[in-house]
């Protein structure tokens, strides 16, 4: 059977590790040629080298999604190397812990930086990629959002940026649909990435809140992205696909509190 992304070319941001790296590997395993971009050139190349080592097609490039020139250069590089661009995965983000007790004491810079990378970054990348996605005849943008964009899990700026990204997904889907480009968003719950290194106890506590009894893995998100990028999702656009183990659908903590059974799910 021909791989469902055979002949596709994809550009991924923030793909040097975690969800981005897993997604690059998944798209490549399904036949896509991938341009792995990351703020850290070394991380990007390690991901790309791993893909090439298993027989896939991958290039790497340093890219700061906060820099329009760098974004334009990354898109141009993908088209020059692969001859086309079919898929854009907007995964790069910034997150700053709220390190002050009161909202009114928060500084401007962390807010501005988080929105610039997490929301305006995908805007820059989508704007640069869109003409090439239109030309491909099967273009798809997949944005990586978060459950934080739908419910309060902390992080004012990050949550606002992810909510904005979900809105941009819908409006851009309306604009790009008549031009043959689909735009969707995957909203992950808690995912076991390097951001959680050394915090196993926290992940264990979090797992108890998920109806499926575990936190997510990067490959869970990668599988959803591959589906939305492929023609299997040819009639899906403007949607948010929650990949969250049921977190937003079921209030496990409330159910446990009402039954008095901490194991209740």
Residue 165 sits at the vertex; the CA angle it makes with 139 and 125, to the nearest 5 degrees, is: 45
Q: Which of 8, 95, 158, 210 is catalytic?
A: 158
Q: Judge whether 93 counts as a catalytic residue.
A: no
What ranges make up the beta strands (E) of the chain?
9-12, 33-38, 57-62, 87-90, 140-144, 182-188, 240-243
Q: How far is 249 from 247, CA to CA, in rounded Å?
A: 6
Q: How far is 85 from 24, CA to CA, in rounded Å?
A: 14
CA 4 to chain CA mean position, Å: 20
Catalytic residues: 158
């Amino acid at each position: 059977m021909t791989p469902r992304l055979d002949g596709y070319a994809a550009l991924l941001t923030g793909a040097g590790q975690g969800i981005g790296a897993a997604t690059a590997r998944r798209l490549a395993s399904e036949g896509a040629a991938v341009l792995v971009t990351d703020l850290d050139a070394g991380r990007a190349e390690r991901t790309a080298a791993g893909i090439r080592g298993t027989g896939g097609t991958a290039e790497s490039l340093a890219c700061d999604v906060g820099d329009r020139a760098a974004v334009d250069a990354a898109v141009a590089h993908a088209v020059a190397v692969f001859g086309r661009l079919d898929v854009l995965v907007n995964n790069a983000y910034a997150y700053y812990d709220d390190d002050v007790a009161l909202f009114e004491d928060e500084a401007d810079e962390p807010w501005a930086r988080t929105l610039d990378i997490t929301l305006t970054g995908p805007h820059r990348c989508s704007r640069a990629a869109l003409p090439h996605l239109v030309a491909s005849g099967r273009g798809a943008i997949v944005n990586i959002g978060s459950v934080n964009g739908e419910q309060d899990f902390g992080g004012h700026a990050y949550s606002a940026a992810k909510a904005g990204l979900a809105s941009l997904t819908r409006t851009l889907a309306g604009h790009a649909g008549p031009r043959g480009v689909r735009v969707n968003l995957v909203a992950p719950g808690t995912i076991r990435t390097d951001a959680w290194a050394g915090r196993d106890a926290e992940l264990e506590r979090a797992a108890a809140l998920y109806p499926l009894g575990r936190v997510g893995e990067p490959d869970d998100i990668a599988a959803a992205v591959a589906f939305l990028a492929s023609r299997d999702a040819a009639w899906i656009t403007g949607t948010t696909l929650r990949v969250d183990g049921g977190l937003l659908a079921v209030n496990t903590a409330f159910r446990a509190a009402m039954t008095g059974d901490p194991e209740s799910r």
